[in-house]
Structure 1
Amino acid sequence: MSINLAAREGGGAPRAEVQPQAPAPARRQTWLDALRGVAVLAVLFEHLLDPLFPEVRATVSPWFDFGQYGVLVFFLISGYVVPASLERRGSVAGFWINRAFRLYPLWILAAVAGTAFGVVQVYSALPGQLGDHPVTSAVAHLTMLQDVLQVVSVVNVFWTLTYEMVFYLLVTALFVAGRHRVSTAGTLVLAMAAVLVGGVLPAGALSRGLGGEAAVLVATAVLVLGLAAILGGDHRVRLCGAAAVGLLAVVLLGTNSRVGAWESLAIVTTMFAGTALYRLDQGQLGRGLGRWVIGLVPVVCVTAAFWFGPGWTMSEEKALAFRWSWSAAVAGAWLTFAAGRLLRSYALPRFLARLGLISYSVYLLHPLAVQILRRLVWDPAPVPLAWRITWSVVLLAVVVACSALTYRFVEQPAQRLGRRLARATTR
């Protein structure tokens, strides 16, 4: 038996409540798995453009970013399912145990492999920060907040996990404060307002002000102490912990991300829009307000992209291409998610749903396969297109086969252990 955080009806601060039994597991939603399959294929295709399909890079990429499209679909899915998972369980400890055992085991495997690939320079060397400041770089990676701590990821796709972690912190803070249901619309409005001023916020200010290593250590200390307060303190201590991790997330997003404040805030806004979609589907959000707020999110994100442009220096031509490709990715992600919702009661392609099941493995492992490919194919121009298509199919088959193995022998055992430990917190 344990003490869980359960929100009072209609909002307000959470109360301590004895939870005699673990929550029933949620029924898996096949349409979300199919969307995950679409998203991970888009990301993988983006990473094949340079080594295999430079024609597509030259002609399509200025107008559509396949990788950004894929990760935005992932972010909408996370927004849709993550807060629901926390609320269904009712236990912050159980939620974080499940998240840790869901993310970290495979992440550790990919991080070790990525580090080894960098050391032997399969395609490129390790990021300079890992060599110059190995301890603080490793600490930043372990928090999964490295992208808002100005630390380059050892595996390029790790940057998206930073925004997953930031979202978990914000969702946890709202849940502990008892504002997780009644503040969805307000959160979205505030987030959209932040996006509109995000271009004037100073990128990397925290790391410049404190120094890179100090910023990592301070942020890590706040994270650890804040979560410890939430998980182990009395009501007031929990509220202080929630305020600490929530403020940490907002400060890092607004002042210290590697991609710039407006893009970071747009990503988190998109995730909260996914939550609003869930609440709309569950009848927890008024349809008029919900549709108005949700409909405004992609418009605001596109407006911010054209208004502020990329968060790093590039030529005028490339900056314009960024604006168009990012905006098209936003539109594509929203249309894809909307199509998934409309078709959720229909039978969707089984291969997409199965790919969605192993999408986390595909997502983390495919950059390693792409590095090997790039070592083998330095210049794709003289290679016939038929051969390049064949290589892409072979690479996909190898990645899917390896991912099926890691899903079976790494992800599933870790998730089962996580569920057992999480259930133990509710007894």
Structure 2
Amino acid sequence: MTEARPKHRLDHIDGLRGLAAFAVLLGHWAEYVGHVTPFRPLGELLTGAFREYFSTGRLGIVAFFCISGFVIPFSFSGPAPIGKFVISRFFRLYPAYWASILLAIVVIPLFTGQIFGSWQVIANLTMVQMLLRAPDILGVYWTLFIELIFYGICLVAFAGRLLHNPRFNLAMMALFLTLALAMGGYRWINPQSDLPVGLPTYLAAMHFGTIARICVLERDPFACRIFWPSALILAAATTTANTLAYLHAKNELVGWVAANTGYLGGLALFLLCALKRWFGGALFAWFGLISYSLYLFHPIFLHMFVGLWPTMPWLVSLAVLTPMLFLGSIGTAALVQRYVEAPSIAIGRAFDQRYRDWISRRAQNA
């Protein structure tokens, strides 16, 4: 069973989503191999390229968030749009997410010895474990919490009839960039601080994605007037905030140059996709279809990679485990999309239809 692809789907947007997921996978592979390989030229090449100068992981995440801003605010449609939105998002996100938790708590202890406590597992099931002060089971889960924050903003904005208003989205983007600059300034003064400067910059990218949609597809005159100034403001303010936050930091996984070039690269790819319709075609579309599961499940194979690496000579590990990581992640993502994501989405649509029928009956009886 596969999810039918509606004719109105934006295939180039799906293609960028697939490219973004693959960029995150590539970045995680390069960062780990660069850290552990005893062959210094390879280690220095990978560490310099992916950690110090250009983070493909950051690129993929920024592209994801811009896409969310381009797509999610326009999921409110039909009768009972708020209920439809909540139902569709729940069945789109949570079943595959829960499947990744289940596989992670079974597989990761076998390869790394890491044990997950009951509270950590229960908290992670909510997707808001950050609020519950429980660590993520898989490192990529933090981005889903940001996604939920954006959903909350969308719900409030829709209720206030502001969601498709370019002025509102410009104001929200400016608000989050101002917050990022303030946090970056604080971290410049306090380099050991772990204030999450990325969070407001990613939320700003989402609101820029909405402005892009209102301009490119809805041809709103005001949105089109502010489109390029908004892009330049987003790039400049984020670069400034990242530089302030990361230049002297000792507790970040990427250097300040990589943080900036990765963000700007993700923004550039989104602009090429939205304006030029790059990343169309069957292969990109297929990767887009499995992108959510690829994003969720590849860290499990990365843990397997980490656990098995020391058991073999490094060159053998590189030759054997690299295909395992990439092919295993992609193959598992395809299976999860087919047997978890697609059925869950279908169940969500059926549930939504029943909900709308119930709303209709209540209206008729009122």
Answer whether TM exceeds 0.5 for this pair. yes
| Structure 1 residue matching 2:287: 3-state secondary structure | helix
2:163 counterpart (156, 172, 180): 180
Specify the alignment match of 1:167 in structure 2. Answer: 150
Distance 1:374 1:89, change over 3 A: farther
Contact persistence 2:173–2:207 (CA under 8 A): yes
Deviation at 1:109, TM superposition (A): 1.0
Distance 1:188 1:171 in 2: 13
The runs of at least 4 aligned residues of structure 1 exceeding 6 Å deviation read none
In structure 1, runs of 5+ residues without a counterpart are: 1-24, 203-257
Specify the alignment match of 1:330 in structure 2. Answer: 263
Deviation at 1:123, TM superposition (A): 1.8
Matches within 5 A, 1:94-109: 94-109=84-99
| Structure 1 residue matching 2:156: 3-state secondary structure | helix
Deviations 1:143-198 (A, max 9, x none): 31223554320011111111111111111111112221231222222222222212
Contact persistence 2:185–2:244 (CA under 8 A): no
Deviation at 1:142, TM superposition (A): 3.1
Specify the alignment match of 2:136 in structure 1. Answer: 153
In structure 2, runs of 5+ residues without a counterpart are: 1-5, 36-42, 188-192, 358-366
Contact persistence 2:80–2:356 (CA under 8 A): no
Specify the alignment match of 1:83 in structure 2. Answer: 73
The one-letter amino acid of 1:279's match is I
1:57 counterpart (20, 39, 46): 46
Specify the alignment match of 1:270 in structure 2. Answer: 205
Specify the alignment match of 2:296 in structure 1. Answer: 364
Deviations 1:306-331 (A, max 9, x none): 122279744xxx79x62111000011
Specify the alignment match of 1:424 in structure 2. Answer: 354
Number of aligned residue pairs? 334
Distance 1:262 1:347 in 2: 30
| Structure 2 residue matching 1:77: 3-state secondary structure | helix
The one-letter amino acid of 1:172's match is L
Distance 1:91 1:106 in 2: 24
Contact persistence 2:96–2:341 (CA under 8 A): yes
Specify the alignment match of 1:13 in structure 2. Answer: none
| Structure 1 residue matching 2:111: 3-state secondary structure | coil
Distance 1:67 1:389, change over 3 A: farther
Distance 1:267 1:139 in 2: 27
Deviation at 1:259, TM superposition (A): 5.5
Distance 1:272 1:347 in 2: 22
1:291 counterpart (193, 211, 228): 228
User: Is 1:143 the counterpart of 2:76 in the alignment?
Assistant: no
Matches within 5 A, 1:313-352: 313-314=250-251, 322-344=255-277, 348-352=280-284
Deviation at 1:285, TM superposition (A): 5.4
Deviation at 1:292, TM superposition (A): 1.5
| Structure 2 residue matching 1:146: 3-state secondary structure | coil
Deviation at 1:97, TM superposition (A): 0.5
Specify the alignment match of 1:37 in structure 2. Answer: 18
Question: TM-score scaled by structure 1?
Answer: 0.71
1:125 counterpart (114, 117, 120): 114
| Structure 2 residue matching 1:425: 3-state secondary structure | helix
Question: TM-score scaled by structure 2?
Answer: 0.82
Distance 1:289 1:52 in 2: 43
Matches within 5 A, 1:211-250: none
Contact persistence 1:196–1:304 (CA under 8 A): yes
Deviation at 1:352, TM superposition (A): 1.9
| Structure 2 residue matching 1:396: 3-state secondary structure | helix
Specify the alignment match of 1:223 in structure 2. Answer: none
Distance 2:78 2:212 in 1: 17
1:377 counterpart (287, 290, 309): 309
1:47 counterpart (14, 22, 28): 28
Q: Percent identity?
A: 23
Distance 1:88 1:198 in 2: 40
Distance 1:274 1:380 in 2: 45
Deviation at 1:283, TM superposition (A): 2.0
Deviations 1:271-305 (A, max 9, x none): 11111111111123512223212321121111101
Distance 1:86 1:401, change over 3 A: same
